[in-house]
């Protein structure tokens, strides 16, 4: 059992540069990720606790991009310290590769549970995208620094936009002319997913995968903007200056994303460039507020324990929640309902409408997931992926 600080994407942030605000925001993000992934009944959940059906953006859609942004923040914090200690880039890169393979492998393992049906194993996934973005962002920052990170982020967003709107899709034609700009089956990202991976290995055997190959390009931009945000937070500027720059940068990103959405709609499932810009803005603004309140002059420290519990063992908490959800879904009772459905049915209807009951189930699920995370936190065990 390794005992080390866990950062997004399996990174260990040096204690001397550790941002408590990052742990808190990460913890809040993971708790929200678990909550929206485990509704009592997803078809009746509140709209903000579900992903957009296609175009648009809900609170739920912002969760994963925020986590990737914090992966980038952690990369900068970790690498700056290690490079200052004269650790060779080759040594750091080897550890990055090991962690990438480990996180990617855990993602495949979760997809294989509970029956290990390799013929229908989904290749893509949340952890797989985290692993790939972590790897690419690490290489970019480690060997190119802030300038390369900025350039690659912009290139990723513009390049993805150009590919999605200007490349003729085989069998469908040119987007916006022969087929809708973001037609679910007729866009380049969906077509490429089907071309590279058999349908049996895609998300729910559909015509696309929300963590597919091409849409990982703009997701990398979310991660790299996290790298740049952390670079700002490590400058010798006053805390209020960092807050102002980061917060208003976030506001500009939000405005830019909404503006771009008029021509390239916000779409989490295809991770459009406008969506990446918009969610980066949300992440920046949140990071600015948390940084000011927790690591800035106010130094707020009370009431942070619940978020630190999740934030210091983020990926471990997420993996536990996924395994628990699988177990509850696969165990079937005598009347044919799953254990998850049975527990949801136990909630008294007198508590409120169906959507409220679904949210109650989600909150209880988060609390259950907090129990092992609390044990790890109290015993100062921080699982290192």
- Say whether the peptide bond before residue 176 is cis (omega within 30 degrees of 0): no
User: What is the token pair recorded at 26?
Assistant: 């990460």
Please list, in sequence order, all residues whose beta carbon lies within 8 angstroms of the beta carbon of residue 306, skipping any fewer than 6 positions away: 27, 31, 370
For residue 191, give the nearest of 173, 177, 176, 178 by alpha carbon.
173
Longest dimension (CA), the chain: 64
User: What is the token pair recorded at 130?
Assistant: 């985290």
Distance from C-alpha of 382 to C-alpha of 372, rounded to nearest angstrom: 12
Task: Reduce the DSSP state of residue 106 to 3 states and report it.
Answer: helix
DSSP letters of 92-113? HHHHHHHHHHHHHHHHHHHHHT
Cα distance from N-terminal residue to C-terminal residue, the chain = 10
Domain ranges of the chain: 8-378
Distance from C-alpha of 370 to C-alpha of 287, rounded to nearest angstrom: 23
Q: Residue ranges of the alpha helices (H) in 209-353?
A: 216-233, 239-260, 273-290, 305-311, 314-330, 339-345
Distance from C-alpha of 227 to C-alpha of 222, rounded to nearest angstrom: 9
Q: What share of the chain has pLDDT > 90, as a percent?
A: 88
Task: Say if CB 338 and CB 329 are below 8 A apart.
Answer: yes
Task: Say if CB 36 and CB 50 are below 8 A apart.
Answer: yes
pLDDT digits (tens, 9 = 90+) for 55-96: 999 999 999 999 999 999 999 999 998 999 999 999 999 999
Q: What is the pLDDT of residue 17?
A: 55
Q: Backbone phi, then psi, for 100, in 5-degree steps?
A: -60, -50
Per run of 10 residues, the mean pLDDT along the chain (length 385 residues) is 36 54 96 96 92 96 97 96 92 96 96 92 96 98 97 98 97 93 95 93 92 97 98 95 97 98 97 98 98 92 91 95 96 90 92 94 97 94 82
Distance from C-alpha of 26 to C-alpha of 316, rounded to nearest angstrom: 13
Task: Say if CB 9 and CB 103 are below 8 A apart.
Answer: yes
Q: What is the pLDDT of residue 1?
A: 36
Q: What is the pLDDT of residue 298?
A: 87
Residue with tokens 């952690």: 74
CB atoms near residue 320 (< 10 Å)? 19
For residue 193, give the nearest of 222, 162, 219, 169 by alpha carbon.
169
pLDDT digits (tens, 9 = 90+) for 151-198: 999 999 999 999 999 999 999 999 999 999 999 999 999 999 999 999
Distance from C-alpha of 376 to C-alpha of 344, rounded to nearest angstrom: 28
Confirm whether pTM is higher than 0.85.
yes
């Amino acid at each position: 059992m390794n005992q080390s600080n866990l950062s997004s994407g399996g990174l260990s942030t040096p204690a001397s540069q550790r941002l408590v605000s990052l742990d808190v925001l990460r913890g809040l993000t993971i708790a929200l990720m678990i909550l929206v992934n485990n509704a009592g009944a997803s078809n009746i959940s509140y709209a903000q606790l579900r992903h957009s059906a296609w175009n648009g953006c809900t609170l739920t859609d912002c969760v994963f991009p925020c986590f990737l942004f914090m992966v980038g923040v952690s990369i900068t914090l970790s690498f700056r310290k290690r490079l200052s200690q004269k650790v060779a880039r080759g040594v750091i890169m080897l550890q990055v590769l090991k962690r990438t393979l480990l996180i990617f492998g855990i993602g495949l393992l979760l997809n294989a549970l509970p029956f290990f049906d390799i013929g229908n194993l989904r290749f893509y996934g949340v952890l797989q995208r985290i692993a790939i973005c972590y790897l690419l962002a690490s290489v970019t920052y480690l060997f190119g620094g802030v300038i390369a990170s900025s350039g690659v982020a912009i290139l990723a967003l513009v390049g993805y936009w150009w590919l999605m709107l200007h490349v003729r899709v085989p069998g469908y034609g040119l987007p916006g002319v022969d087929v809708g700009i973001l037609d679910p089956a007729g866009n380049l990202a969906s077509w490429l997913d089907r071309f590279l991976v058999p349908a049996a290995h895609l998300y729910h055997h559909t015509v696309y995968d929300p963590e597919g190959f091409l849409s990982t390009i703009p997701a990398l931009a979310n991660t790299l903007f996290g790298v740049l945000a952390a670079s700002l937070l490590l400058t010798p500027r006053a805390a209020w200056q960092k807050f102002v720059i980061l917060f208003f940068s976030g506001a500009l990103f939000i405005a830019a994303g909404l503006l771009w959405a008029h021509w390239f709609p916000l779409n989490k499932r295809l991770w459009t460039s406008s969506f990446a810009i918009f969610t980066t803005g949300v992440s920046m603004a949140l990071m600015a507020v948390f940084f000011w309140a927790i690591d800035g002059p106010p130094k707020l420290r009370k009431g942070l324990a619940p978020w630190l519990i999740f934030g210091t063992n983020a990926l471990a908490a997420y993996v536990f929640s996924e395994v628990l959800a699988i177990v509850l879904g696969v165990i079937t009772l005598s009347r044919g309902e799953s254990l998850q459905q049975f527990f949801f049915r136990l909630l008294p209807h007198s508590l409120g409408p169906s959507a409220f009951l679904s949210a109650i189930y989600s909150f209880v699920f988060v609390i259950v997931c907090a129990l092992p995370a609390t044990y790890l936190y109290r015993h100062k065990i921080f699982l290192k992926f």
